[in-house]
Amino acid sequence: MTIEEIRELVRAGRYEVSIHAQQERLEDDLDINEIETALLQGELIEEYPKDPRGPSCLVGGLAGPKRIHVVIGWATRKQQVERTLRVITVYIPRPPKWTDLRTRGTKP
């Protein structure tokens, strides 16, 4: 999964948002347009190729002044013809877990 592929699929509207991501975005007062903006203008920060649920990655980007992290994986549906992204979770990176958009903080 590359940032170019992610951007292409987001532009085409070929993504879905998990229930968990919906809950998290509401808790952080993020709307879908902000998440799309972060994905379209952001960068790949971490890759998780061995995630038990399937390969995924962390994209970090800005939507206006908001720093946003989005964990993306592949949607898996029976009889799925086109590749579709799945937004697994979304959040605003904050200390102590994150010192900035790209840097993990220290664990307490």
For the segment 45-80, what is each residue's pLDDT rounded down to a tens digit?
A: 999 999 888 899 999 999 999 999 999 999 876 666
Task: Give the span between the Cα atoms of 15 and 80, in whole angstroms.
Answer: 12
Tens digits of residue pLDDT in 35-49: 999 999 999 999 999
List 67's β-bridge partners, or say none.
Answer: 62
pTM recorded for the entire structure: 0.90
3-state SS assignment for residue 33? helix
* CB half-sphere exposure, 36, CA atoms < 13 A: 12
